[in-house]
Amino acid sequence: MARPRKSEPTRLALLQAGMALLTLKGYHGTGIKQILDEVNVPKGSFYNFFDSKADFVAAIIRYYGEQISTEYQSLKADVAHLPELSQLQLIFKSKVARRQADSPTCACLIGAMSSEIAQSSQVCQQALVEIESQWLSQLSGQFMQAQLQLDVRQDMRPEQLARLFYNHWQGSLLHYQVCDDVQVIITALDDFLCLVATEQGVINLKQTRVAVQVTEPTKAIT
């Protein structure tokens, strides 16, 4: 049901506060009351916006999905002059650097909700399916272009490569959470890209790494 226009700022505040807490504390570790207190919204009002906690979390998942899609487009525009595979490398490194600078964790809300709630909440599962589908579509496009540029192996479809990349990315974020070292995400990203790159692709990736280190020497993650 569409919400009254005047309520949008409150709804947005709830989504943003919920997003931050969910990523840190998970579904069951996050209380609605804590979010309401943070945003200064009475409990009754909450149910004007969302039917249930699961409905709220599904909305947060979709909101988070919009955020990362917008971020992806913006980061991609920054590196549009580079080959597609090198773009992918830099986009994901920049994502990590941003999380490291702005958030208490580099963990991914999609991964966290996939693990904790997907199989027990249909409404959250549906939101996750939608967001992953959008993500995979963007990644597939990127791999298709990288194949046309001969930087990526041709023996798999772009959709397969995108899924492999995304699975591995989510797994590397779990590894980061276990060892609390953001560098493992970067190392894993570089190693994975070498698995899918052609010889030419590997050379381009190395050149990009050198170029980024030269032009951004103070960046924590390169």
Give the torsion sign (CA, 75, 76, 77, 79): positive
194 touches a copy of itself (CB under 8 A): yes
178 touches a copy of itself (CB under 8 A): yes
C-beta neighbour count of 112 within 10 angstroms = 21
172 touches a copy of itself (CB under 8 A): yes
Go through 129-141 and write b for each residue having 16 or more CB atoms within 10 A of its CB, e for each that does not. Answer: eebbeebbeebbe
Task: Choose which of 44, 179, 214, 215 interacts with a copy of itself (CB under 8 A).
Answer: 179
196 touches a copy of itself (CB under 8 A): yes
CB of 197 to a copy of itself, least distance (A): 11
Two tokens, residue 215? 């032009």
Distances (CA, A) of 105 to 55, 206, 216: 24, 28, 23
Q: Find residue 197's DSSP bridge partners.
A: 152
CB of 155 to a copy of itself, least distance (A): 7
CB closer to a copy of itself, 155 vs 215: 155
Nearest-CA neighbor of 124 among 109, 139, 138, 135? 109
Task: Choose which of 28, 44, 102, 215 interacts with a copy of itself (CB under 8 A).
Answer: 28
Please tell me the distance from the alpha carbon of residue 142 to that of residue 144, in angstroms, as a whole number.
5
29 touches a copy of itself (CB under 8 A): yes
135 touches a copy of itself (CB under 8 A): no
154 touches a copy of itself (CB under 8 A): no
Which residues 57-86 are close enough to bind a copy of itself by CB under 8 A? Answer: none
Please tell me the distance from the alpha carbon of residue 64 to that of residue 78, in angstroms, as a whole number.
21
Distances (CA, A) of 195 to 152, 159, 165, 190, 199: 9, 16, 10, 9, 10
CB closer to a copy of itself, 97 vs 112: 112
Number of residues counted as binding a copy of itself (CB under 8 A):
44
Residues lying near a copy of itself in the complex (CB under 8 A) are found at 24-29, 105, 107, 111-112, 114-116, 118-120, 125, 128-129, 132, 155-156, 160, 163-164, 166-172, 174-175, 177-180, 188, 191-192, 194-196
